[in-house]
Amino acid sequence: MKRVDFIEILYSFLCLEKHRNFQSAAEELNVSKSTLSRRMTMLEKELGEVIFIRDSTPIGLTEHGTKFLRDALRIKKKYELLNEQTESSSASPKGTVYISAPSAIGNGLLIGWIKQFQDIYPEIIIDLTLTLGPVRILAPECDIRINHGLFPCERVLARPLGCMLRTMVASEKYLSEKGLPKTPFDLEQHHLLGGNDLIADSKLVLRSKNEVITVPYYPRLRLKDHVAARTAAICGLGISVHAFQYDTWEYVRRGQLCEVLPEWKPEPSPVSLLLPQNKTLSSASRTLADFIEERWKSHPHLTHD
């Protein structure tokens, strides 16, 4: 078995041992269930032992599997330490950094920052995964995760970045047809567009100085992505009430969107940079994490701690 293949299979084994379920582990690894099963069969063939009890629910480890788990954790730690030592001996950081982020943040902020980062550090390869919906557990290969603070993640070290400021926007065509809201309570007569952190039948919280108001949220179009909500607003489907300022200000400037009730703001969304709790961070990963934090703090539409 090739070294690269073995490391990949090793991480797959640790992920499956964590979930004790092929489907859940395959989803976290972003591979098919059959691919994961094939990797485990290759591992058992290489070891010459059966390591999983597949006919139990959840999947269990055999005695050989339990012993290999201890070896796998030790090998993983040594492998990560070796990578760290190799990179630290170089004049400039190099290697691959696996980073995960929500789709809206990835498309709206992170990809642009990665371009700037790789102009400075051309020898660092970045493997980027963009997600929809909450991520509760980091994939084994993940080095950095940018995460909404509203959705906590397990077994991580959190580095708070700050908050994404929100606003409410709609197209001029929609507002000319439906009317411009004069107060937050007028929103109840409109089609409201949210994201995965504003679910149906919940409350929209708005603030103006020291005043707080809640508005019922009953969407006709249910969306789980803020980029989709922005696009829907541009198309005249309603008022995007959880829009991020960084993601909409240019559309407002060009006249494609109009601010609604600008004196009232939805609650900002806290964001953290997550690092695996039990993984040695490479110099390349640390460099990227620091760069992201610096970019965040210099952005005019983001707040920082």
The residues spanned by each domain of the chain are: 3-87, 95-162+271-304, 166-266
Please give the pLDDT value at position 174: 98
- CA gyration radius, the chain: 23
Please give the pLDDT value at position 118: 97
Q: What is the mean pLDDT of the chain?
A: 89
The model's pLDDT over 170-207, given as tens digits with 9 standing for 90+, comes to: 999 999 999 999 999 999 999 999 987 777 568 899 99
Collapsing DSSP to helix, strand or coil, 251 comes out as helix
Which has the minimum average pLDDT: 91-95, 109-113, 222-226?
Answer: 91-95
Element (H, E) at 275: strand 269-276
Pair 138, 283: CB distance under 8 Å = no
Sheet holding 211-217, edge to edge: 211-217, 202-208, 265-266
Name the CATH architecture for the domain at 95-162+271-304: 3-Layer(aba) Sandwich (3.40)
Residue 91, pLDDT above cutoff 80:
no
Fold entry, domain 166-266 = D-Maltodextrin-Binding Protein; domain 2 (3.40.190)
Place of tokens 């970019």: 295
Neighbours of 177 (CB within 10 A): 9
Please give the pLDDT value at position 132: 82
Which carries the bigger pLDDT value, residue 181 or residue 303?
Answer: 181
Please give the pLDDT value at position 82: 76
Fold entry, domain 3-87 = Arc Repressor Mutant, subunit A (1.10.10)
Q: Assign 106 a pLDDT band (cuts: 50, 70, 90).
A: very high
Nearest CA to 229 out of 247, 212, 216, 217 is that of: 247
Residue 138, pLDDT above cutoff 90:
no
Please give the pLDDT value at position 128: 96
Is-same-fold flag (95-162+271-304; 166-266)?
yes
Please give the pLDDT value at position 148: 84
Nearest CA to 284 out of 114, 109, 146 is that of: 114
Distances (CA, A) of 257 to 21, 172, 190: 46, 7, 16
Q: How far, in Å, CA of 257 to CA of 241, rounded?
A: 12
Q: How far, in Å, CA of 2 to CA of 161, rounded?
A: 39
Q: How far, in Å, CA of 205 to CA of 185, rounded?
A: 12
Q: Whole-model pTM?
A: 0.67
The model's pLDDT over 3-55, given as tens digits with 9 standing for 90+, comes to: 447 888 998 999 999 889 999 888 888 788 999 999 999 999 999 999 999 88
Nearest CA to 207 out of 179, 241, 160 is that of: 241
Residue 249, pLDDT above cutoff 70:
yes
Residue 1, pLDDT above cutoff 70:
no
